[in-house]
Each structure stands twice: as C-alpha cells, then as structure tokens.
Amino acid sequence: MVVGGHPRHANAGLNVCSLMSTKPFLILQLRPEDIASDNEYEAILLHGGLAEEEVVRVRMDQQVPENVSLDAYAGVIVGGGPSNASDSEDHRTPEHQRFHDFLRRLLREVIDRDKPYFGICFGLGAIATITEGSVSKEHYGELVMTISVSLTKDGERDPLLQGLPKTFRAFVGHKEACQAVPPRAVLLATGDACPVQMIRFGSHVYATQFHPELDVEGVTLRVSIYKDAGYFPPEDAERIIENSSKESVTVPPMILKRFIERYRTSYE
C-alpha cells in the first residue's frame, strides 16, 4: 500500500480527494482494539477541529503502508497504544513488529526534514528512540491519573504553548517514559513524577507524554479496555474513573488544536 497524493482514508481504498485545497493530516494508529482505536481517532478529530475529509487514517496494527510521501501531508500524528517503544524484538506483539521498521524509517525522515509531527504517548517514545534517547520502564511510569504539567521557559516561548497557563492538568497513563531529555530535543513541559512531558525537535516536531486527545469519556473507555493490561491494579478501575470525572482538563486539547491550526495550510 502506497500512501501518497491526497487520499481521504487509508482503510477505504486510498481514494483521491481532488477537491481538497489543503493537504490532509496523516494519522497513524497502533491500538489493536477496535473500540479504543475508533475512540482515539474520533477524539483527535474532535479536539483537533478536523473533519474526516482532512485526514488519512492508517491503522498500523492492521496494514502497514509500503511507503509514505511526507510531502503529501500537512503533518503526521502518531497515537498511543499498549505497545511500548522500548520493547525488544522478543517482547513485541505481532502488531508492533509489523509496523516497527516502517515507523522507524518514517520518523527518521520526519526528524531529518523537520516535518510537522505530533506524537502522543507511544508517539513520543518512538520519536525519542530515533534520536538515541533513553526510553524505558526503569523510572517515571505513570498510573492512569491526572497530573499537573508545567511549562518550561522554552515552552512558554513555543508557538504552540505561548499564552497558555504555565501549569495545567493532563491525563496520563504509561508503563515507560523518557529517562532524560533526548539528544537534540528541547524540553517544553515537565511534571513532578515524570520530568519529560513535552518535547520539540527542530522547529516542527512535537511529542507529548500526556494525552492531549483524552477527555473523561475517553479515560472511562480506556480504563475498561485496559483494566487487565498492567497499567494499574484492576480493583482501582472504578476509583480512577471517579477521580477523573472530577477533573477539569482543558489545556491539553488546546495544544493539539493549535498544532492542527498552525500546519493546516502551511508552516514556517
């Protein structure tokens, strides 16, 4: 499968949408659970302010593209999932193994060309490992919860974050994390339990440890789906959902929307 030109949806035969005046965003997903994958996709559209006609969706757990022309897209968004960027070949799921080599090649080009990119969760770990960053389960794993994220001085000056509150609440839940700021990366946001919460490479390559696409509905769904996946003790599921419902998480979706708005038509 070759993903290029201006297709609307990779899982719908790569139809060409010749009437599009701007390039679509490429959304790469790796969640093998249909409900979780669909919810993540819909959340990215909702909070990014995107219509389906503005994106190409590729579920890498189902079909890995043979090739991707980055010049055909306004930007690339890589979501999260139960796979870990730090997993060795012996510990990768069959789905992870299928997209591993493709994603590494694509992200190397993203870094080398400084193409617009927004990595979420696994999307951060994947881009960090390309630059020889230390990503592992050694320290800084986070239970499913809401945390306070603080902007660094570089974050306060960044185009996506400028003018936003210096500290805000965000949803997290990870088994792995960057053990330090990756080489060549700029730390934009940090947290007490996990220091690397948002980074930037070059001028246009972004990634977050926290989940800017998540809302309470999404947290509730993922807690039920991944209850036995080792993110938290299963008996804590109801408490996590209850605590999440009391939180006001408004800034992270704004960051995702700012990324879309900045790169929808052009970038500098």
pLDDT at 8 over 50: no
- Residue 125 CA to residue 249 CA, distance in Å, equals 23
Q: Where are the alpha helices (DSSP H) in the chain?
A: 34-48, 94-113, 122-130, 153-157, 216-225, 237-245, 251-263
pLDDT digits (tens, 9 = 90+) for 74-86: 999 999 988 888 7
Over range 145-151, report the average pLDDT.
96
Q: Is the dihedral of CA 170, 172, 178, 183 positive or negative?
A: negative
Over range 106-127, report the average pLDDT.
96
Which pLDDT value is given to residue 15?
35
Which pLDDT value is given to residue 7?
39
Percentage of the chain beyond pLDDT 70 is 91
Over range 245-258, report the average pLDDT.
96
Over range 253-260, report the average pLDDT.
98
pTM of the model: 0.90
Which pLDDT value is given to residue 37?
97
Helix (H) or strand (E) segment spanning residue 187: strand 185-191
Task: Map out the domains of the chain with their CATH numbers.
Answer: 2-263 (3.40.50.880)
- Residue 214 CA to residue 198 CA, distance in Å, equals 16
Which pLDDT value is given to residue 268?
53
Which pLDDT value is given to residue 151?
98
pLDDT at 196 over 50: yes
Which pLDDT value is given to residue 147?
95
pLDDT at 266 over 90: no
Which pLDDT value is given to residue 3?
56
Nearest CA among 234, 244, 268, 258 for reference residue 50: 258
Which residue is listed with tokens 């050694």?
138
Which pLDDT value is given to residue 267?
60
Residues 6+ apart with CB under 8 A from 90: none
Which pLDDT value is given to residue 82?
86
Nearest CA among 55, 77, 186 for reference residue 121: 77
Over range 193-212, report the average pLDDT.
96
Q: Coil, strand or helix: which one is 159?
A: coil
- Residue 81 CA to residue 76 CA, distance in Å, equals 17
Residue type at 253?
P
- And the tokens for 82? 């139960």
Which pLDDT value is given to residue 22?
85
Q: Kindly report which listed range (86-90, 103-107, 193-197) carries the lowest average pLDDT score.
A: 86-90
What's the pLDDT band for 5 if we cut at 50, 70, 90? Answer: very low
Helix (H) or strand (E) segment spanning residue 84: none
Q: Kindly report which listed range (79-93, 113-127, 189-203, 207-221) carries the lowest average pLDDT score.
A: 79-93
Which pLDDT value is given to residue 20?
45
Over range 198-227, report the average pLDDT.
96
Beta strands 117-120; 75-78: pairing state? parallel
